[in-house]
Chain A
Amino acid sequence: MVPFGGWEMPVYYSSIVAEHHAVRQRVGLFDVSHMGELIVSGPDAEIFLNRVLTNDVSKCAAGRAQYTFLCNEQGGIRDDLVLYWLEPMRFLLLVNASNVEKDFAWLREHASGDVTVENHHGEIATVSLQGPLAAKLVPAPAATLAIFHIAAFDVCSVRCWVARTGYTGEDGFELLCAIGDVMRLWNELLAHGAPLGIQPCGLGARDTLRLEMCYPLHGQDITDATTPLEAGLGRFVAMDKTDFIGRDALVEQKARGLTRKLVPFQMTEKAPPPRSHYPLLAEGRRIGEITSGAPSPSLGIGIGMGYVEMDAAAPGTQIGVDIRGRTFAAVVETKPLWKKNK
């Protein structure tokens, strides 16, 4: 168990690799109750959220979800989150554990009009059921939900918001319920999933699965000091919508051009696993550093992401990773690193 955003979290239940493969091949269950659930409601909620979030809320709809950023005035990423549009005037923001209080304060500070912002962290629990067999473990109507849609269902006799979302690159669902019901939901899902080879999964597998998909982790790959454009996530920023916090800075950055970019890479020779903060090199010169790195269980080789100078950002660029003073060869890749149909 390790401390994570104020919660005690298991890194693994059996082994990171076994849990990782269970999700890619069968189904895994993650307890992600450490994530924060903020609820924004009221007649002006949509207008307000469009002013603080980068993506265009108007292009979402009740019963759907949207990946988006909360940026500061400089365009830096305060947090990344999934916005769930629960009911016409009610939104749930699933935010990172370590940012809950910060996000809650920011939203309250900027709230205007007829809007209520509530922090339900610790009252709502979230479990994530992920893998190609996940749909066999939810009720039939929930199994027909389209990707990035959300609706309420009873799962194992527990009332849940069920969303077809996740952080693994596999099909799957996130189930939100009252914290008092989550033990029952967890145990029942594991019991029903046993014949399918379900595996409870910890933070370790969550990290290797998301890294293979190049999904960023806030605090590592994206921070207050990096923008969505630098992170290669500009498609989640609606420059053409109404004004939003950070827009001016992002418009300016886009016009000026980027000086660095977050790129995925893969080792091309046998090497120790790449890790956060190891220097990235090109022709012997430092061009950036790793923000996330790990041995990829699916690919059987070291992978990672890091910010590099623009000259080295194109896929196919040969780069080096400095690991304890020795340079190992790697290549800049395209996203995602794990390509299912390859």
Chain B
Amino acid sequence: MNVPTNLRYAKSHEWVRVEGDTAVVGISDHAQHELSDIVYVEPPNVGDSVETGKECAVIESVKAASDIYTPVSGEVIAANTALANHPELVNQDPYGQGWLFKVKMSDPGEVDELLQPDEYVSHIGE
């Protein structure tokens, strides 16, 4: 599985890319593979206040609906609108065009609590 070294990871399989005080959030290659065939993405609303570890989005595969937990707290400033018509982007390009939402972080220090890439690799048992 692809685990880019420039990202941080949550145990619940979301990734975070830090851009200044903004966190871009998506799900890992491992997670998209486990979910398989993603058919619907319900992102958070822009302007929503989100809190670390709380569910804020839903990804639906053929088999099941899965909650997505935000890895950082703050305000949602963007959601990936392309996923409304092309949810399969999460399967095809989980670290690129399949990103889910952006959070303006209220506490950028939370990123330090997330797993390093090598720790995430151990976490998924590879």
Known: A204-B63, A275-B65. A15 touches B37 (CB 8 A): yes
Report the contact-size class of chain A (Cβ under 8 Å from the partner): 10 to 19
| A42 interface residue (CB < 8 Å to B) | no
Candidates B36, B42, B58, B62; contact of A294 at CB < 8 Å: B62
Is B60 a contact partner of A273 (Cβ separation < 8 A)? yes
| Alpha-carbon distance A273/B36, docked complex (angstroms) | 15
A1-26 interface with B by 8 A CB criterion: 11-12, 15-17
Question: Residues of B contacting A12 with CB < 8 Å?
Answer: 36
B58-74 interface with A by 8 A CB criterion: 58, 60-65
| A55 interface residue (CB < 8 Å to B) | no
Task: Pick the most buried of B42, B58, B60: most chain A CB atoms within 10 A of its CB.
Answer: B60
| Alpha-carbon distance A331/B4, docked complex (angstroms) | 45
| A285 interface residue (CB < 8 Å to B) | no
| Alpha-carbon distance A272/B63, docked complex (angstroms) | 12
| B16 interface residue (CB < 8 Å to A) | no
Known: A16-B62, A17-B62, A324-B58. A273 touches B37 (CB 8 A): no
Question: Residues of A contacting B24 with CB < 8 Å?
Answer: none
CB distance from B33 to the nearest CB of A (A): 9
User: CB-nearest residue of chain B relative to A300?
Assistant: B39
Majority secondary structure of chain B interface residues (helix, strand, loop or mixed): strand
Candidates A16, A272, A275, A324; contact of B37 at CB < 8 Å: A16
Question: Residues of A contacting B62 with CB < 8 Å?
Answer: 16-17, 204, 208, 273, 294-295, 297
Known: A11-B63, A324-B58. A272 touches B36 (CB 8 A): no
Contact mask A268-279 → B, CB, 8 Å, 1/0? 000011010000
A287-330 interface with B by 8 A CB criterion: 294-295, 297, 324
Question: Residues of B contacting A204 with CB < 8 Å?
Answer: 36, 62-63
Question: Residues of B contacting A275 with CB < 8 Å?
Answer: 64-65
User: CB-nearest residue of chain B relative to A297?
Assistant: B62
Majority secondary structure of chain A interface residues (helix, strand, loop or mixed): loop
| Alpha-carbon distance A232/B63, docked complex (angstroms) | 26
Question: Residues of B contacting A16 with CB < 8 Å?
Answer: 36-37, 61-63
Question: Residues of A contacting B37 with CB < 8 Å?
Answer: 15-17
Is B39 a contact partner of A295 (Cβ separation < 8 A)? yes
User: CB-nearest residue of chain A relative to B40?
Assistant: A272
Question: Residues of A contacting B36 with CB < 8 Å?
Answer: 11-12, 15-16, 204
User: CB-nearest residue of chain B relative to A17?
Assistant: B37
User: CB-nearest residue of chain A relative to B41?
Assistant: A272
| Alpha-carbon distance A273/B60, docked complex (angstroms) | 7
Is A295 a contact partner of B65 (Cβ separation < 8 A)? no
Task: Pick the most buried of B36, B62, B64: most chain A CB atoms within 10 A of its CB.
Answer: B62
User: CB-nearest residue of chain A relative to B61?
Assistant: A16
Contact mask A193-231 → B, CB, 8 Å, 1/0? 000000000001000100000000000000000000000
Contact mask B33-59 → A, CB, 8 Å, 1/0? 000110110100000000000000010
| Alpha-carbon distance A250/B39, docked complex (angstroms) | 41
CB distance from B94 to the nearest CB of A (A): 15
Is B58 a contact partner of A295 (Cβ separation < 8 A)? no
| Alpha-carbon distance A294/B61, docked complex (angstroms) | 9
| Alpha-carbon distance A241/B58, docked complex (angstroms) | 51
| Alpha-carbon distance A204/B60, docked complex (angstroms) | 14
Known: A11-B63, A16-B63. A273 touches B58 (CB 8 A): no
| Alpha-carbon distance A275/B60, docked complex (angstroms) | 10
A243-267 interface with B by 8 A CB criterion: none
User: CB-nearest residue of chain A relative to B84?
Assistant: A270
| Alpha-carbon distance A333/B125, docked complex (angstroms) | 45
CB distance from A311 to the nearest CB of B (A): 29
B11-30 interface with A by 8 A CB criterion: none
| Alpha-carbon distance A297/B63, docked complex (angstroms) | 11
Question: Residues of B contacting A208 with CB < 8 Å?
Answer: 62
In the complex, the 9 A-B pairs of residues with the closest C-beta atoms, listed nearest first? A16-B62, A295-B39, A17-B37, A272-B40, A15-B36, A15-B37, A16-B37, A273-B60, A204-B63
Pairs A–B under 8 Å by Cβ, sample size 11: A11-B36, A12-B36, A15-B36, A16-B36, A204-B62, A273-B40, A273-B65, A275-B64, A294-B63, A295-B39, A295-B62
Residue numbers of B with Cβ under 8 A of A are 36-37, 39-40, 42, 58, 60-65
